[in-house]
Structure 1
Amino acid sequence: MKTIYLLPIVLLFTACNSDDSVDPASLLPPITMTGENTFGCLIDGKFFRPRDGRSTINSDNKGLTTLRSEEDNWEIHAYDRKSNRTASLIIHIENLFENPDGDTGFYPIRQANGLRELDGPNHTYIYGRIWSEAFNSYQLYLSKDNSGSINITKLQRSPGEFSIHAGTFQAVLYNSQSETDSLIIDLGRFDLDSISLPSTPFN
């Protein structure tokens, strides 16, 4: 009888160890430039990806949307709406389309104020609402000047507008309530076809 009881315990222990040994970086989507509508990064070593959810019975909340604002700027809005402790990231790239053909290359990340579009700063930034173990609550995390960069690796125009936007990013975000609390955003990548993705309403 002891063997019968011990076997499930051994199997459970093995399964937990197997889950714990998964490298979070292995869960990230591959780096592509073909409009696969993928987005992912590590937040303090933990895998983050946008996932759709529901706010009411009849309303879908999309996990990933894009927005072209003020003509030349572009934003990615990424929300994990399914986890018990959800998270969100807003990535704003200033003057991405200042050149009519679009500009690939590096965009230095600067200070965020926790607002977007017309209320956000006139430069490239990242901010997010993320659960803090230290504070045991959701906190607003903001980028600062020279706290990272976004590398746009491909911009492809379809008739009338840009479609594929691909790139990588990394940054350090700082708790708006405590300068000693920060998060590392690492191995970020996106490959988005903005024509097929839902667009965030412009405020």
Structure 2
Amino acid sequence: MKTIYILLIALLVTTCDSDDTVDPASLLPPITMTGENTFGCLIDGKFFRPRDGRSTINSDNRGLRVVQTETDNWEIHVFDRKSERTGSLYIHIEDFFVNSIGIYQINAANGLRGIDGPNNSYIYGRFWNPKTENYSNYHSFIDSGFIDILADNHNPGSYYIISGTFNAHLVNIDNAADSLYISKGRFDIDSISLQFTSFD
């Protein structure tokens, strides 16, 4: 009888442990090409997605924005404004509105965007660094990843649906030995309905 109780307790503990463990990749949105306004990636194996901040009139509290810069370039700005340790990620695609569908090599970032950023595709972000117990800035470098645009239905200056995947390696600008790996990144963005979408 004692053996049965021990087996039941062991089974209960094992079941509870397996239920509490969630594979971060299972939280990612599916790869779609229909303007679902989804974005997600794994950063060092942890799930990252846009989340709006407190609800105000100020649009700076939005978790996901897209911007067309310098006529031909496109940027995705992603913010997790709700977590205890917030984070931000900027993805710049150089000459997107010229080249459209295809693979874009990720090169060096300088931490600036638009006209002040470099003339190449890049990614940079700001995340909590548990090693320093502070926030750190991470930048892409030459040939540090790729962005694959899978679908593009755009009319420059008005609306667009753009979908793609990405992977990248970013380094801490204050310590090159410290880096982040972004994997399984995906986005499917409809610029018109994005303004009405909430990310919590």
- 3-state SS of 1:114 partner: coil
- 3-state SS of 2:19 partner: helix
- 3-state SS of 1:195 partner: helix
The verdict on how the C-alpha distance between 1:37 and 1:71 changes in structure 2, with shifts beyond 3 A counting, is same
Alignment correspondent of 2:124: 127
Structure 2 counterpart of 1:115, which letter? L
Match of 2:184 among 180, 184, 187: 187
Structure with the larger helix share: 2
Alignment correspondent of 2:104: 107
Name stretches of at least 5 consecutive residues in structure 1 with no aligned partner. 1-9, 199-203
Shift in Å at residue 157 of structure 1? Answer: 2.7
The CA distance in 1 between the partners of 2:155 and 2:71, in whole Å, is: 17
Match of 2:137 among 131, 140, 144: 140
Is the Cα contact below 8 Å between 2:97 and 2:156 reproduced in 1? Answer: no
Is the Cα contact below 8 Å between 1:37 and 1:191 reproduced in 2? Answer: yes
TM-score, scaled to structure 1:
0.84
Name stretches of at least 5 consecutive residues in structure 2 with no aligned partner. 1-10, 196-200
Shift in Å at residue 196 of structure 1? Answer: 2.1
Runs of 4 or more off by more than 4 Å in structure 1?
10-17
Is the Cα contact below 8 Å between 1:155 and 1:162 reproduced in 2? Answer: no
Alignment correspondent of 1:6: none
Shift in Å at residue 88 of structure 1? Answer: 0.7
TM-score, scaled to structure 2:
0.85
Structure 1 counterpart of 2:75, which letter? E
- 3-state SS of 1:67 partner: strand
Is the Cα contact below 8 Å between 2:154 and 2:162 reproduced in 1? Answer: no
Shift in Å at residue 50 of structure 1? Answer: 0.3
Is the Cα contact below 8 Å between 1:97 and 1:103 reproduced in 2? Answer: yes
The CA distance in 1 between the partners of 2:149 and 2:96, in whole Å, is: 9
Identity %: 58
The CA distance in 1 between the partners of 2:133 and 2:119, in whole Å, is: 32
